[in-house]
Structure 1
Amino acid sequence: MQPVPDYGLSVVEQLRAMTEAGTLQPDRHQFGVAEKLDRILTEFKARKPAAKKSALGWMFAQRRKQEIPIKGLYVHGSVGRGKTMLMDLFFKLAPVEKKRRAHFHEFMADVHGRIHAHRQKVKAGETKQADPVPPVAAALREEAQLLCFDEFTVTDIADAMILARLFTELFARGCTLVATSNVEPDNLYRDGLNRGLFLPFVDLLKKNVDVSTLDSPTDYRLEKMESLPVYIAPLNDAPKMMDIAWKRVTEGAPEVAVTIEMKGRTIEIPRAAGRAARFSFRDLCERPLGASDYLAIAKRFDVVFVENIPHLGPEKRNETKRFIILIDALYDASVRLFASAVAMPEALLTEKKGTEGFEFDRTVSRLFEMRSADYLALHQSKRQNHDGSVT
């Protein structure tokens, strides 16, 4: 979560300088992944700049000669091993004019939004192209030749069913993909509904990326963790403590109920004061909300309170999925989180199996890091950049 310094012209050089300076511990596993990222950098540098592309739309883009993409990289491994740091180093150095780094949930929310907008154009008679995927893929390619996804994961059937077609188009147009994940490609969307229809994407992915494991022996997130009193468990004194924290954060600002407009519908925010919002677990995870809703909340608020997080058993599978996505959205936006729960993060999930079991390891790690001094310092820095004040 720390800003990435500029130490050199390759990922390996930057890692070496950071270890020599004492910023990082030497880790041969990280250097192995860095070498693979540098292979991609070298191939980008060797290619001549592409001719300036036409902005006349997807129909002209479709006629262009298909480009052979540079083979990307998919890095998977346990949480806290440095995957995100390495991708940040790589992304900063990538000599590509059009590149995009995003959390995978954010990217897919954008894709679904574009598909919806195209279908509205079809209904309005503004286009005769009934299939939205080719024009959406063409538009994405016009904006980015390099796509970098942090925490690549597939839990939503709507995402699963579109990925093969979307990335067939993107790879054919020369997109290169670099991604980090907690799971290897063969375990993506494991136990998901109609998973057989998703498997062509797994095959397509493995043809277009090298797959690398990063499983260092050290969890660097936990090593740096410095806990602060922002996660309260168990629930005995939680209401009183949350009230005290709420009063301190809002500093007497008037509390109101607000709504966020989302494509013809609204997200209800029961308690808001300035750029702070307060929810119960039920408000956020027992209602039919998705990644786009949580991203909108993370964009609107700098501080979020979530109260009364329960144990998450098999009977709460949907709620568990939503909670995982919620924490991803808040974490990626550096939102300051205050939470009260029935148990500490590692004890919330009562039965670890299937996709949720894999994904919840990341959630536990992020809940710990969101209590650390490093995370709160980053939150404050971003808050200052937003409007010159600190929450």
Structure 2
Amino acid sequence: MVELYQNYKEKVAAGQLKADSAQADMAQRFDMLATQLSEMKTGWFSKPVYPKGLYIWGGVGRGKSMLMDLFHAHTPLKPALRTHFHDFMLETHSFIAQWRKLDEKSRRKHAAYVKGVGEDPIPPAAKHIADKARLLCFDEFHVTDIADAMILGRLFEQLWKHDIVVVATSNRHPDDLYAGGVNRDLFKPFIGMIKDKLDIIELKSDMDYRLERLIAAPVYYSPLNQASDNALQEAWVRLTKGVSDSQVELTVQGRTLRVSRHAAGCAFFSFSELCDKPLGAADYLVIARRFHTVFIEHVPMLTPANRNAAKRFVTLIDALYESRTKLVLSAEAEPDDLYPEGDGAFEFERTASRLHEMRSKDYLAAGRSEEAVAP
């Protein structure tokens, strides 16, 4: 089975991707896994032997997510779930919280009920996941939250008992996951599990394609007019590599935050969506953690008349800046002129300075700061 590698070569030939030997080798490794999955034998008296999954790590912008998306599209193992790891853990914690609220009678009636585990919510959580997918494809596998760290080993031990195949992309080698975290010794056995169940492969491409696409054109457009609207849309197409837009719902402290447009790790918002609504730091931190690049269109002039929206904008920029999330933006004026006078203008000077820095090549080339956005 060479569908993924063939598809990769077709994209290169069409000019959608640049030829990259490291990516080509990885595409063939994904095809090898797909072949192994398609050739698994099942019988009345024997269980199929599942191959090891993959853990692909390397620097940002090397094409890890793109290749995993191609694999997800071509995998013979169905059903397959492709998800951002942070979203997966949020959903898992939500299931655990709901499970703990059920009485014994309700648990026994639940489709995820596992006999003989008592009050332990982890086996039912794993069964709930396994009932929905035989293959899990995780984008941006990283661990910064102690609540995640303390359950990952037991959760994945149960998932692998269900013969779930796991593929993951990460910017970190497994040995560096949860580095410096509280009670990391309790997390280390999970690192051993990863090495046992997944083949660890570094994608060693020398090119940061995400950075190349970011610096191909400006990332700050002003004033607001048809030209800046067109430029922002062109930047979106360039950064998302032709991936179709879709919607996603994020969970923020039990609330739902709807993102109406996202693709390839990027999210697109209007200023009004983010700053005219009663959102706060928690919402912006989740956005910063979930997307590597955020687009914001139609930032107006800021004045005391819209001070609440201006304060939210300041909080939003702080969240994006601290996490080193990339920003592509259209605004009525350059940063120094966005809030020219009145109550709040002096405080906005720091935000203007950050907006300037976020346009620099050094900022665009900087890696993500995972710890800065941990909840």
**TM-score bin, normalised by smaller chain:** 0.5 to 0.7
Deviation at 1:177, TM superposition (A): 0.7
Residue 308 of structure 1: aligned partner? 314
Residue 77 of structure 2: aligned partner? 96
For the structure 1 residues 73 and 196, does the alpha-carbon distance in structure 2 shift closer, same or farther, using more than 3 Å as the test?
A: same
For the structure 1 residues 124 and 143, does the alpha-carbon distance in structure 2 shift closer, same or farther, using more than 3 Å as the test?
A: same
1:28 to 21, 36, 46: 21
Residue 345 of structure 1: aligned partner? 358
Residue 277 of structure 1: aligned partner? 273
For 1:100, the aligned partner's letter is: L
For the structure 1 residues 302 and 218, does the alpha-carbon distance in structure 2 shift closer, same or farther, using more than 3 Å as the test?
A: closer
Residue 47 of structure 1: aligned partner? 40
Residue 66 of structure 2: aligned partner? 85
Deviation at 1:217, TM superposition (A): 1.5
1:139 to 97, 112, 128: 128
Residue 76 of structure 1: aligned partner? 57
Q: Describe the SS at the equivalent of 2:313.
A: strand
| Aligned counterparts, 1:62-73, within 5 A | 68-73=49-54
Residue 188 of structure 1: aligned partner? 177
Residue 345 of structure 2: aligned partner? none
8 Å CA contact 1:103, 1:150 repeated in 2? yes
For the structure 1 residues 294 and 119, does the alpha-carbon distance in structure 2 shift closer, same or farther, using more than 3 Å as the test?
A: farther
8 Å CA contact 1:150, 1:179 repeated in 2? yes
What's the CA shift string for 1:239-289, capped at 9, x where partnerless?
x98xxx99xx9xxxxxxxxxx9979965899xxx99942349x9643x598
1:115 aligns with 2:124: no
Q: Describe the SS at the equivalent of 2:191.
A: helix
Q: Describe the SS at the equivalent of 2:368.
A: helix
| Aligned counterparts, 1:6-25, within 5 A | 9-25=2-18
Aligned residues: 293
For 1:79, the aligned partner's letter is: V
For the structure 1 residues 293 and 122, does the alpha-carbon distance in structure 2 shift closer, same or farther, using more than 3 Å as the test?
A: farther
Q: Describe the SS at the equivalent of 1:218.
A: coil
8 Å CA contact 1:147, 1:178 repeated in 2? yes
Distance in 1 separating the partners of 2:271 and 2:320? 26
1:178 to 149, 158, 167: 167
For 1:181, the aligned partner's letter is: S
Deviation at 1:187, TM superposition (A): 0.5
| Aligned counterparts, 1:208-219, within 5 A | 208-219=197-208
Q: Describe the SS at the equivalent of 2:136.
A: strand
Distance in 2 separating the partners of 1:290 and 1:310? 8
Distance in 1 separating the partners of 2:43 and 2:144? 36
8 Å CA contact 1:69, 1:176 repeated in 2? yes
| Structure 2 unaligned blocks of 5 or more | 109-116, 233-248, 259-268, 300-311, 336-350
For the structure 1 residues 338 and 141, does the alpha-carbon distance in structure 2 shift closer, same or farther, using more than 3 Å as the test?
A: farther
Residue 168 of structure 1: aligned partner? 157
For the structure 1 residues 261 and 139, does the alpha-carbon distance in structure 2 shift closer, same or farther, using more than 3 Å as the test?
A: closer
Deviation at 1:33, TM superposition (A): 1.2
2:192 to 197, 200, 203: 203
1:359 aligns with 2:368: yes
Distance in 2 separating the partners of 1:228 and 1:192? 37
Distance in 2 separating the partners of 1:79 and 1:28? 17
For the structure 1 residues 222 and 126, does the alpha-carbon distance in structure 2 shift closer, same or farther, using more than 3 Å as the test?
A: closer
8 Å CA contact 1:15, 1:31 repeated in 2? yes
For the structure 1 residues 291 and 110, does the alpha-carbon distance in structure 2 shift closer, same or farther, using more than 3 Å as the test?
A: farther
8 Å CA contact 1:109, 1:292 repeated in 2? no
Q: Describe the SS at the equivalent of 2:158.
A: helix
For the structure 1 residues 50 and 152, does the alpha-carbon distance in structure 2 shift closer, same or farther, using more than 3 Å as the test?
A: farther
8 Å CA contact 1:67, 1:173 repeated in 2? no
Distance in 2 separating the partners of 1:220 and 1:361? 20
For the structure 1 residues 348 and 30, does the alpha-carbon distance in structure 2 shift closer, same or farther, using more than 3 Å as the test?
A: closer
TM-score (norm 2): 0.63
8 Å CA contact 2:270, 2:296 repeated in 1? no
TM-score (norm 1): 0.61
Q: Describe the SS at the equivalent of 1:102.
A: strand
| Aligned counterparts, 1:256-271, within 5 A | none
Q: Describe the SS at the equivalent of 1:29.
A: helix
For the structure 1 residues 210 and 166, does the alpha-carbon distance in structure 2 shift closer, same or farther, using more than 3 Å as the test?
A: same
| Structure 1 unaligned blocks of 5 or more | 1-7, 52-64, 233-239, 250-259, 296-300, 313-318, 351-356, 364-391
Distance in 2 separating the partners of 1:31 and 1:118? 44
Residue 374 of structure 1: aligned partner? none
8 Å CA contact 1:12, 1:35 repeated in 2? yes
Larger RCO of the pair (alpha carbons < 8 Å, separation 6+)? 1
Q: Aligned-pair RMSD on alpha carbons? A: 4.7
8 Å CA contact 1:68, 1:173 repeated in 2? no
1:130 aligns with 2:111: no
8 Å CA contact 2:37, 2:50 repeated in 1? no
Residue 265 of structure 2: aligned partner? none
